[in-house]
Structure 1
Amino acid sequence: MISVILLLIFASPAYGAESNEPKVEAQSAILIEADTGRILWEKNAHEPRPMASTTKIMTCILALESGMLDDIVTVSKRAALAPEVKLRLKAGEKQRLEDLLYALMMKSSNDAAVAIAEHISGSVEAFCEKMTQKAKELGAKNTVFRTPNGLDADGHQSTAYDLALITRYAMKNPKFVEIINTRQITIPKEGNFRSYYLSNANRFLYEYPGANGVKTGYTGKAGYCFVGAANQNGMQLISVVLASGWGSRGKEQKWVDTKRIMNYGFQNYKKVCLLEKNKLLKTIPVERAKETSVSLYSDKTIVSVLNEEEKSKVQIKIDVPQSVEAPVTKGQEIGRAKVILGDEILGTVSLVADRDIERHDFPACIKKVLNNWLRLTKYGIIIGEKE
């Protein structure tokens, strides 16, 4: 194999190291770009901490995947006794699962969370085990759920990074996005069902351009937390702040921290096409064929988010054999190319052949002649039988 490194050159000039990183008081925080999952900024992002009602992001997406929106949920005594914040559901009351999900995410209803958990898994404990397992599957390895609503409990923890992963996954579900972006809704009174009016407690939706999520949180151990999401100019960012403070100051600081992080992301990063699909990257010799070479093209497009400084440092590393032996099939993978930024791999593509190339040597020629003769002989016999 031979390796070739190409330097990508963009029209915009590079500038020095970032000097405008956000000033954030949260004890843990992160900013990622949703499509690629690339981390744009972080602060103690892998430090396990209690995460309060941001827990409900996992509760919601798991319920959407495990239940039916029209399911009828019967509220248990345990659910009805959940502490504030709550919808004030009554034991024995029945509500649609979909309506409880709106209460869960818009008003952070703790009683709704318990009712949902018991409906999906039979018990809170079984649902929390399912939540933890789902987190592990998503790569959120430092997350353990002990409650479905985020109330403080021994071992109930996550990290800013893990919550960003979970939220990135959840926002691929259109119904989840619809729920978290609903500003007001009335749960209708049907039969014995009670009616509820809900308004979204997420101030970020009202105050930040392009905001489209996600979830507030507060407990005595966790402090004020918030997972935010916003989309501007086709770039979707997700932020997490944990422990932005306590008291009235902390309550306000979570919004300040989130806006500073989002401003940093949108002001400094842009989506960049680093490699287009079907781009010619290498031509290599072909042995045992009439044609002397084959061209290799990228099989997909790679897009990432970069700041100006990073643009000048992106490279493409091409790994291909020195030559290939015929036959070659169109679309056959013959090499690989990686788009890299320092030690970070921004994307990988296969390098595929642009056409079919037949083998051409003495054994191949003899075989071809023999096959042609057999076909002609068979054709002649068939004609003879018809006559």
Structure 2
Amino acid sequence: MLVPSFASAEEAKRNIVEESSSAILLERDTGAVLFEKESDKKLPPASMTKIMTMILIMEAIESGKISLDQKIRASEYAASMGGSQIFLEAGEEMTVDDMLKGIAIASGNDASVAMAEAIAGSEDEFVNMMNQKATEMGLSNTHFVNPTGLPAKDHYSTANDMALMARELLKYDLITKYTGLYEDYLRQDTDKKFWLVNTNKLVKFYPGVDGLKTGFTSEAKYCLTATAKRDDMRVVAVVMGAPTPKVRNAEITKLFDYAFSQYKTQKLFDRHHVVKEVEMNKGDQASMTVVTSERVSVLLKKGQENGEITTSIKMNENIQTPVKKGDEVGMLSVKVDGHVTAKSPVLSSEDIHQASWWQLMKRTAAQFAKTPNEGVK
């Protein structure tokens, strides 16, 4: 992904973030950085860690490994988690849907560990998955030790990496149905009805905010990765190391105000939009449908004339079967006035296996039948 930067020296002097240790502001679709302060500084992310936890949960849901109505059984270990929790009891069963509410709204450490064990078999293996995903995403300044964000040696990230994780999580439209809730209940029809209130107060008090995740420990101080959408533009803001929750929320608010007053986006494609059909001569299907991996937009400065916007796709060379659904098969480029402003991977929308000998023979015969016999008068 080519990430254009709009954070000029003059803009960086703006007193948007003064008290937090680190911050970044970016537009979700293009990844364009609109403001940053010490955004590559390694710091403890506290419960913002759960953004990666939720990424892996959403991947498991999308792949069919788990379902929202599936019941998850809390182990004794998961139920023993301290800090923020939804007070799971050992052996208690709760649906993935409710576990997600517990994580996204109440920052439940017990729910996070229960989901980690359900997906990976153990917390340790889930942490390996978290770090593997971080490596795949190119997050070189991030390392996880647990899925909760509870204090631990060598557990760190940066504002920049947290923003990139937020972009990844926001690919799943379902997630804001959880992170955007200000309040809800668990165990509704029992005598242990539990009220959830979002730890991210901006969900209630800033128009357009529908996520993502707060964090606090005495070491990390007050942290927040937040997202807001207005007029079809979605932005992500991160602050780390704020001295108080009031400062944290005020600085995020300033970042959002700046973004929405200065920029706008023009959507080109939604996620999974069909952009190309490619012949697969040796596949069990004659062609492969190619789709976008994410929403694709152009970021524009308000008050400036729009340039000529064009897109092109370069397919990978020598694509071999089998191809799995979701495999990256090429790159989509966006140009404004002939200059590349963004690149985004395109994916196969389906599984394509190697064609059998009989399929190849039938295809060859069909092609031959379509070719006119020039020797016959």
TM-score over 0.5 (shorter chain): yes
Shift of 1:228: 0.8
Residue segments in structure 1 that go unaligned for 5+ positions in a row: 1-15, 275-301, 318-335, 350-370, 381-387
Contact 1:99–1:187 under 8 Å retained in 2: yes
**17 and 99 in structure 1: CA distance in 2 versus 1, 3 angstrom threshold:** same
Q: Which position in structure 1 is the counterpart of 2:212?
A: 214
**237 and 273 in structure 1: CA distance in 2 versus 1, 3 angstrom threshold:** closer
Contact 2:334–2:340 under 8 Å retained in 1: no
Q: Secondary structure at the match of 2:229?
A: strand
Q: Which position in structure 1 is the counterpart of 2:27?
A: 33
The equivalences for 1:42-61 within 5 A come to 42-61=36-55
Q: Secondary structure at the match of 1:243?
A: strand
Contact 2:181–2:210 under 8 Å retained in 1: no
The residue type equivalent to 2:228 in the other structure is A
Residue segments in structure 2 that go unaligned for 5+ positions in a row: 1-8, 61-65, 269-295, 311-332, 345-370
Shift of 1:121: 1.1
Identity %: 33
Aligned length, in residue pairs: 291
Contact 1:24–1:260 under 8 Å retained in 2: no
Shift of 1:61: 2.2
Q: Secondary structure at the match of 1:55?
A: helix
Q: Which position in structure 1 is the counterpart of 2:154?
A: 155
Contact 1:61–1:176 under 8 Å retained in 2: no
Shift of 1:199: 2.4
The equivalences for 1:303-318 within 5 A come to 303-307=297-301
1:73 matched to 2:72: yes
The residue type equivalent to 2:36 in the other structure is E
The residue type equivalent to 2:167 in the other structure is R
Q: Which position in structure 2 is the counterpart of 1:198?
A: 196
Shift of 1:21: 5.0
**97 and 340 in structure 1: CA distance in 2 versus 1, 3 angstrom threshold:** same
Shift of 1:133: 1.0
**104 and 207 in structure 1: CA distance in 2 versus 1, 3 angstrom threshold:** same
Contact 1:164–1:240 under 8 Å retained in 2: yes
Q: Secondary structure at the match of 1:201?
A: coil
The residue type equivalent to 1:144 in the other structure is H
Mean CA deviation greater in 194-203 or 175-184: 194-203
The equivalences for 1:287-366 within 5 A come to 303-307=297-301, 338-339=335-336, 345-347=340-342
The residue type equivalent to 1:228 in the other structure is A
**95 and 64 in structure 1: CA distance in 2 versus 1, 3 angstrom threshold:** same
Contact 2:39–2:158 under 8 Å retained in 1: yes
The two structures have a TM-score, normalised by structure 2, of 0.69
Aligned partners of 2:246 and 2:183: how far apart in 1? 22
Aligned partners of 1:316 and 1:68: how far apart in 2? 40
Aligned partners of 2:59 and 2:343: how far apart in 1? 31
The residue type equivalent to 1:94 in the other structure is E
Q: Which position in structure 2 is the counterpart of 1:186?
A: 185
Aligned partners of 1:170 and 1:209: how far apart in 2? 21
Shift of 1:77: 1.8
Aligned partners of 2:236 and 2:334: how far apart in 1? 29
Contact 2:181–2:203 under 8 Å retained in 1: no
Shift of 1:51: 0.2
The two structures have a TM-score, normalised by structure 1, of 0.67
Q: CA offsets per residue over residues 3-25 of structure 1, 9 Å max, x none?
A: xxxxxxxxxxxxx9547451432
Shift of 1:139: 2.6
1:226 matched to 2:221: no
Q: Which position in structure 2 is the counterpart of 1:235?
A: 233
Shift of 1:71: 2.4
Contact 1:340–1:347 under 8 Å retained in 2: no
The residue type equivalent to 2:237 in the other structure is S
Q: Which position in structure 1 is the counterpart of 2:165?
A: 166
Shift of 1:172: 1.4
Contact 2:17–2:23 under 8 Å retained in 1: no
Return the structure number with greater relative CO, CA threshold 8 A, min gap 6.
1
Q: Which position in structure 1 is the counterpart of 2:123?
A: 124
Q: Which position in structure 2 is the counterpart of 1:367?
A: none
